[in-house]
Each structure stands twice: as C-alpha cells, then as structure tokens.
Structure 1
Amino acid sequence: MASLREVAERAGVSTAAASRALRDRPGVSRETRSRVRQAARELGYQPDLRARSLRTSRTHNIGLVVPDVMNPFFSEVARAVGDVAGQREYSLLLGNSDGLRNKEEEFVNLLLQKKVDGLIVFAATSASQHLERARARGLPIVLIDRKVPGLDIIRADNEKGGTLATSHLLDLGHTRIGLITGRLDLATRRDRYNGYRYALIRAGITPDPTLVREGSVRSDHGYGAALDLLNLPAPPTAIFATTDTIAMGVLLALEERSVPVPEEMAVVGYDNTYLTVICRPRLTSVAQPKQQMGRWAATFLIDWIEQGRADGDEPVEVVLDPQLVVRESTMPGVRALQGRDLPLSGVGRSGS
C-alpha cells in the first residue's frame, strides 16, 4: 500500500501539504489539492485510520440522529453531513429516533459507548437532558433545526417561513387559509404556526382555530385533515401544509374530491424536497437551506473536535433564511414562465 510520503513525492509537494490537501484543509491551492488527489488515486493510497486514532485519541466517527430517515428533508440534510464527513475522513453513524425521546436517548447512549467524537442531532424534544449530560461530559454536540437550551444549533427561521407561505396566499386573494401541521409542542412547527398567525393578523384577519388541524407530519395526516377541512360548512380556499409530506396527502385528498388545484384550492408545502417536483401540480413550497444546514453543522462539529473550544463559550445559534419557491399549486401557468422554479426570497418577510 502506498504511503503519504509516496503520494507527496508523486504530486511534488511536502508531506504536510499532501496531508492538508487530502483532508480538505485550508492553506492548499486548488491546483495542488487536485494534483495530490490525482496522485493518491493513481497510487491507491488509503489513510491508516487506526494509526491516526492511536495518535489523536479520536475514533474519527461522528453520530447523526434524525427523527425519520424516510422523510426527504432529513435524508437530504444527512447526505450533506455525510459529504463533509467523508471529505474530512470521518465515518458517519446514522440513527433513526422516530421522533421519540426515549428512542433518541437509547441511540445516543449507544453512540457514546462506541466513543464517537461528536454528535449531530435533530432533537425529538427541547427537554433532552441526555444531550445536556453528554455535552457536560465534554462531547461536542451540534443540533440542526430543533433547539435544546444550552446547545449549539444551526436552523432556519421557521416563523419567517410560515409568514412567507401565508403571505403568498394572502397576496393571491385568499382569506380563509387552512393550516395542517405536525404536533405544535415541537418548536419548529410552533414557529411555522406563529408565522401563519402573524401574517393573518398583519393582514387584518382574525385567525380561525377551526381551520387548523394538528397531528403527525405523515401524508396520511395531510389526507385526513384535508378531507376534514373540505367538509366544513365554509371550507378554506387555500391550505398551508407545514411539511411537503403533509402536502402530498392534501393533494391526494383534493384529487379524490375532484377539487382543482389551484383554481379552487391553492396549496403550499414546506421544506422544498424532491416531492415538490414529482407531484402534479408541482408544489409551491418554503425552501429550507438543507445542504447549507447539513454542511455547516458537519464542518462546525469537526472543526470543534479537531481544534477544540474554550471552556465557558456561549452556545452558538446560526439562523438561516428560508425562501418561497412558487410552482403551479398556487399559480396556474407559472411553469410556462422560463420553465423553472421561481424563488421569491423577498415575499412576505416577518421582519423577525
């Protein structure tokens, strides 16, 4: 097996530069990085992770815990985390919590037994004492999307996203707007609900609790809740589904009831996953910066593992802007405009 020294000689650089290039670290030009990687491929170079672990007392394993690996939002973020982990020569251990605190705690404990160097978690609840205990023991932990007091987090502004979705529907003339959401005891969903209420109140409309349906984030909840809203004496003319998976069920219910979208019912989803472009009509959705969230979380965690942090540092909270992507489920004929999605980042901002 080729050594790092041989790779460096083939590429015409120092071993230190070759090491930085292969680990995707700063201080190496793009041309040098490319030349080193080409030399490594030609020589079949593989880093000796076991020796490196002995030298650094690190396993070069990080854990990622998501609520639902089948949900495209979480899987797309996980892909971005995995991309960065691979580039930095870390293995990624993935766990599925089903959104349950006890299952999340069991998996976190298992990862701790395997001596992971750090964790990235979509917390099942804000009352996650097991995460606080792990952090108190010195384990680097970065949260995505869901806050736990005292822990670092990278998230999108969900209240602003809820306002974007609702303001778009209001701008189209809708005044009776239904909301179908997951459990409101989770901060992300509550923030989207608050954004919905904020947009209505700002437009002079009193929020109607009879137009709100709370449950799971699965498509079957969207389906049942949409049918329930359609059966109201005065049904809504638009529905804001707080995830794309919920919106898929909404569209199915509308199709079965022969309700034309968007002519008689406009629909907005949330997350802007691949589901939005494989359904018909294609779904208007609030886009979270999924790639950015995953890549930043992984980079921040691995930098923390390798470079450390000062004791007593305040928790870091990075808040990213969502963006509304308009498609045919709210605006008929929009597909004909340049034949692509239309991101409307300035529509209906809450100002928060």
Structure 2
Amino acid sequence: MATVRDIAALVGVSVATVSRVINHSDDVSPVMVEKVSKALEECQYKKTAPKRKQSKIYALIVPNINNLFYSEVLYALEQEAFYNGRCLLFFNSRGSKQQEKLYLNECKAHGVDGVFLIPTCTDDQYMREINQYPFQTVLLTHQSDIIPSVLIDHFAGGRLVAEHFIAGGHRRIGYIGPVSDTEGKYQGFMGFLSDKGVSVSPHCLFNTQAETESKAFNQFIDTLISPDKRPSVTALFCSNDLDAQRTVKYLTSLGISVPEQVIVIGFDNSVTSRIMDISSVSQSINEMVSLGFKTMLDCVTLSEKPLLNSVQLLKPKLVVRCQKKLAMS
C-alpha cells in the first residue's frame, strides 16, 4: 500500500504538503489539493487511523452486586488486573439495560481500554450496538457470537442438575429462573428431563425475567404447597444461588423441610451456597476470570476488533451438599 512519502515523491511535493491535504488543511492551494488528491486516488491510499494510546484502565459491569457470585467475580478480576498492572472501574447496572448503557458511555468517557460485561441481555442487535464502542468488550458468564465470551457451559450445567434429580428418583420437578430459548441452563435442564420422558408442569415454572417482585415469587412457592403441607414438587432447580437461598428460606418458613421434603439446587457455587449448605453447580471463577483477562489483553493489542469472536466454554461441576435420603411420595 502506498505511503504518504510515496505520494509526495510521485507528485513532487513535501511530505508535509501531502499530510495537509489528507487532513483537509486550509494552507494548501486548490490546484495542489486537486493534484495530490488525484495521486491519492490513483495509488488507492488509505489513511491509517492513529493507534489509540492505552489507558491501562478496564471496567466491570455486573447486573446485581447483591448476588455474591458477582462480588466474587469482582474480587478475582480486580486481583487479575493488579497482577497485570491495570486498574479496574466497577459499575452495578441493577439489571437495567438503560443503566447498563449509561455505564458503557461512562466507560467511553473515561477512555477505558476494555469492559468486562455481564450483560442484562444478549440479543444480536444489542450486542452489535455494544460492539460499536471504541473499547474492546469481553462477556463473562454469557454467550454471544458477536463479542468474545468466556463462561461455564450453562447448557451442560443444567443437564447435570436434571441428571442428578432423575438419578435420585425425582419426577415432580420445578424450575426457578429465566424461561427462554437463549437461557442455556433452562434449555439443558428441560432437554435432559424431556429425553428421560419427564415433563415439568407449567405451574411448576417461575420465570424470573417476567416476575421480579418478591411477592410474586412467594405466591409461586405458595402454589406448590398444599394446605396439609405436602409439596407438589420434590425437587427445584434455581438458576442462581441467590434464588436458591430465598427458595430455601421461604420453604423453611412454611414448615417444609429442605432437603427432606424438597431438594433445592442452585447455580454458581457462590459463598451463599457454601454458607447455607445448598447444592449448586460450580462456576470456576478464577479460571473464567483468568481466561477472560487473557482474552481481553489479546484483543486490545489488535489494531481492529476481531471479525470472528470466540466463545470459550468451561466445564461445570455439580457440588452436592446436605444430601440425605429423601421421601419421594
């Protein structure tokens, strides 16, 4: 490709003159502008964008800092940034797409090199919008073909829970979490049950994306318990440990024994599940964060964002706690 020096030699002018024409300076005569412009066109010259100076500042945006899993991600990511000589900004979107966009604009204003995002949604249109920002973005715990993603295999994690329920003799099963074609945990869970000929009644599904109020959640649990304190399900899968925690607490308040009457399994294996002795699918936070940071460093060294973005899936593990022989009647 032709350089500014090549164009200057071809036209017989200084490099400074060619540079002024390229940058639309008023200090060049119209005749010379036309002459240089013609040479630029003939040589198919393309102006190279100046390489952006790295700020060594990154950001993390999470949807809910009350979920201790995200607190653990923040701790691990801050530690990784420190080891790599970087600083980390932190934002809590509170599950709001509008607030998430506000923080992405804040990241732009701060000139960050990259954003680690745990997004409120991953539809293609929104991902393309995020990809237009000047900084590199890496998704954590969520998946997109448009933005580099590092996560535990949610589909496989959902299947692990379903397999555990079936192996334990459970057939009356419920689910609490996002009910969506794009929710890997839900799809893996329901797919395995379907393969085994087990169906989940619609009244045993609680869609946390549609119902966000605690009152609606409690009413859902109430519908699963008969007046004589007999649950209509013997096993519940919650898509995160925060929901598993409130499920166990509310069932206990109703006089239902967990796990003797109802087994509850969460997802994340956060400090919440460890303190409350709740079974959970483990997401290796340190492994995910380490791989995510390496992906980010690789991406920011490129002059342009990669056209093909990788999805890196890590293997989940089911951690069983407080497991006793359960009554299946």
Instruction: Describe the shift of the 1:186–1:294 C-alpha distance in structure 2 as closer, same or farther (beyond 3 A).
Output: farther
Answer yes or no: is 1:300 the counterpart of 2:286: no
Answer yes or no: is 1:287 the counterpart of 2:278: no
Answer yes or no: is 1:238 the counterpart of 2:232: no
Q: Which of 310, 315, 318 matches 1:321?
A: 315
Partner of 2:268: 271
Q: Which of 123, 126, 138 matches 2:122?
A: 126
- Tell me the secondary structure at the aligned position of residue 94 of structure 2: coil
Query: For structure 1, which segment, 83-92 or 204-213, has the greater mean C-alpha deviation from structure 2 after superposition?
Result: 204-213
State the distance in 2 between where 1:114 and 1:132 align.
21
State the distance in 2 between where 1:161 and 1:223 align.
26
> Any residues of structure 2 matched to 1:41-190 within 5 Å, and which?
57-127=53-123, 132-133=128-129, 135-136=131-132, 138-181=134-177, 183-185=178-180, 187=182, 190=183
Partner of 1:20: none
Partner of 2:224: 229
Using the size of structure 1 for normalisation, the TM-score is: 0.70
State the distance in 1 between where 2:242 and 2:148 align.
28
- Report the AA paired with residue 151 of structure 2: R
- Report the AA paired with residue 273 of structure 1: S
Q: Check conservation: 2:127, 2:146, Cα contact below 8 A.
A: no
- Tell me the secondary structure at the aligned position of residue 230 of structure 1: coil
- Over the residues paired in the alignment, what is the CA RMSD in angstroms? 2.7
Partner of 1:191: 184
| Displacement of 1:118 | 1.0
State the distance in 1 between where 2:257 and 2:220 align.
17
State the distance in 1 between where 2:241 and 2:217 align.
10
- Tell me the secondary structure at the aligned position of residue 200 of structure 1: helix
Partner of 1:201: 194
Q: Check conservation: 1:222, 1:247, Cα contact below 8 A.
A: no
Instruction: Describe the shift of the 1:148–1:102 C-alpha distance in structure 2 as closer, same or farther (beyond 3 A).
Output: farther
- Report the AA paired with residue 256 of structure 1: S
Q: Check conservation: 1:64, 1:121, Cα contact below 8 A.
A: yes
| Displacement of 1:313 | 4.1
Q: Check conservation: 1:223, 1:246, Cα contact below 8 A.
A: no
Number of corresponding residues? 272
Q: Deviations over 1:233-275 (max 9, x none)?
A: 9711111111111111111122122222222111111111111
| Displacement of 1:210 | 2.0
Identity value in percent: 24
State the distance in 1 between where 2:77 and 2:190 align.
33
State the distance in 1 between where 2:74 and 2:255 align.
37
Using the size of structure 2 for normalisation, the TM-score is: 0.75
Q: Which runs of 5+ in 1 are unaligned?
A: 1-54, 334-352
| Displacement of 1:126 | 1.7
- Tell me the secondary structure at the aligned position of residue 291 of structure 1: helix
Q: Check conservation: 1:119, 1:142, Cα contact below 8 A.
A: yes
| Displacement of 1:224 | 4.3
| Displacement of 1:331 | 3.0
Partner of 1:211: 204
State the distance in 2 between where 1:294 and 1:218 align.
28
Query: For structure 1, which segment, 72-81 or 110-119, has the greater mean C-alpha deviation from structure 2 after superposition?
Result: 72-81
Q: Which runs of 5+ in 2 are unaligned?
A: 1-50
Query: For structure 1, which segment, 144-153 or 222-231, has the greater mean C-alpha deviation from structure 2 after superposition?
Result: 222-231
| Displacement of 1:215 | 2.0
Q: Check conservation: 1:242, 1:269, Cα contact below 8 A.
A: yes
State the distance in 1 between where 2:306 and 2:208 align.
39
- Report the AA paired with residue 262 of structure 1: P
Q: Check conservation: 1:156, 1:320, Cα contact below 8 A.
A: yes
| Displacement of 1:174 | 0.7
State the distance in 2 between where 1:311 and 1:214 align.
36
| Displacement of 1:140 | 1.5
